[in-house]
Amino acid sequence: MEWLMFVIGGAAIGIISGFFGVGGGIILTPVLLVLDYEPTQAIILSLMLTLGSTVTGTLSHMKMKNVNIRSACSLGLFGVIGTVSTVPFVHWLEKINGASTVISVVYIIILSWFASQFLNNSQSVRKERRKSWIPLIGLFTGVLSSLMGVSGGFVMTPLLTKKVGIDLNRAIGTSIAAASIIVISGIGSYVYGGAEMDYRHGLLLIVGALIGTPFGIINLKKFSKIMVKEMLAVFYVVVALSVVFKMLSLTMLSLGLLLSAVGLFFIVLFYNKASRLL
């Protein structure tokens, strides 16, 4: 029964990942931390799940011509530099028992900031269209990927739309493609650094992600860009709040909030699909 739960969990997160272009680790890492996994174990499992969703997502978005291959390669290259340089720092934090706290604080700050950017309708929407931002975005994403166990899509997608001027759907596809490179380097860096990998659970999560991600991508085009941004902003707020509750030792409230948000997302998804069939 345990294996089924990991496959179902991977599939559910894969659907969310394909829809928002956020990789999946942004959900799984907080959940695993709430379930008292060691920080490095939580990060590696999240990266393994993310690998499944990003590879599948990349292939699907390439078929839909949503990937700027040149930008994705540049993002991935600088992301690898950020990833490799951050892994030793995470190992050091774990030795002094500070990894969980630092990761949680980073989650709260980053997610809150991006949520405010999406929800603030009065913000400037000027697109700078400066490709010089791409190396910086890739480097920043790589650092966050190793620190938080994420693909970094939740950072790349909004930054590519705001700083580089890429269309939202194309930004999502390009982010997922770049994330595949970053995630592979992250997993390799942790293994090379001596971290233990839970191959069994990791592979089950990957299988689930491979099943769920294409479904999320297909449903993306059925929603308006404004609605996708608003849904993603709310999701960021919920994850940030769940991390706050975890830090306050309100474990069940934290986990319940995350599961409720996931459940609400699927209700919206299936309601939209049902309304189109009627």
| Tokens 């929603």 found at | 223
Does this model's pTM top 0.85? My answer is no
pLDDT of amino acid 21: 64
pLDDT of amino acid 138: 93
Q: Are 131 and 164 in contact (CB under 8 A)?
A: yes
CA–CA gap between residue 84 and residue 66 (Å, rounded): 28
Per residue of the chain (278 residues), what is the pLDDT tens digit? 677 888 988 888 888 877 876 667 777 877 787 777 888 888 888 888 888 777 877 888 888 888 999 999 999 999 999 999 998 888 888 888 887 788 888 878 888 887 887 777 544 444 455 778 999 999 999 998 888 777 777 788 878 888 888 888 888 889 888 988 988 888 888 888 787 778 888 889 888 888 888 888 788 778 887 888 788 888 888 888 888 888 888 888 888 888 888 888 889 888 887 777 66
CA atoms within 13 A on the CB side of 260: 12
- C-alpha angle with apex 101: 118 to 24, nearest 5 degrees? 45
Q: Is 103 helix (H, G, I), strand (E, B) or coil?
A: helix
pLDDT of amino acid 81: 94
Q: What is the pLDDT of residues 102-113, one digit of tens each?
A: 888 887 888 888
Residue (of 189, 170, 169) closest to 71 by Cα position: 170
If 0-12 CB within 10 Å is exposed, 13-18 middle and 19+ buried, where does residue 15 land?
Answer: buried
CA atoms within 13 A on the CB side of 18: 32
CA–CA gap between residue 127 and residue 154 (Å, rounded): 18
**DSSP string across 184-200:** HHHHHHHHHTT----HH
CA–CA gap between residue 180 and residue 25 (Å, rounded): 13
Cα-only R_g, the chain: 17
pLDDT of amino acid 278: 63
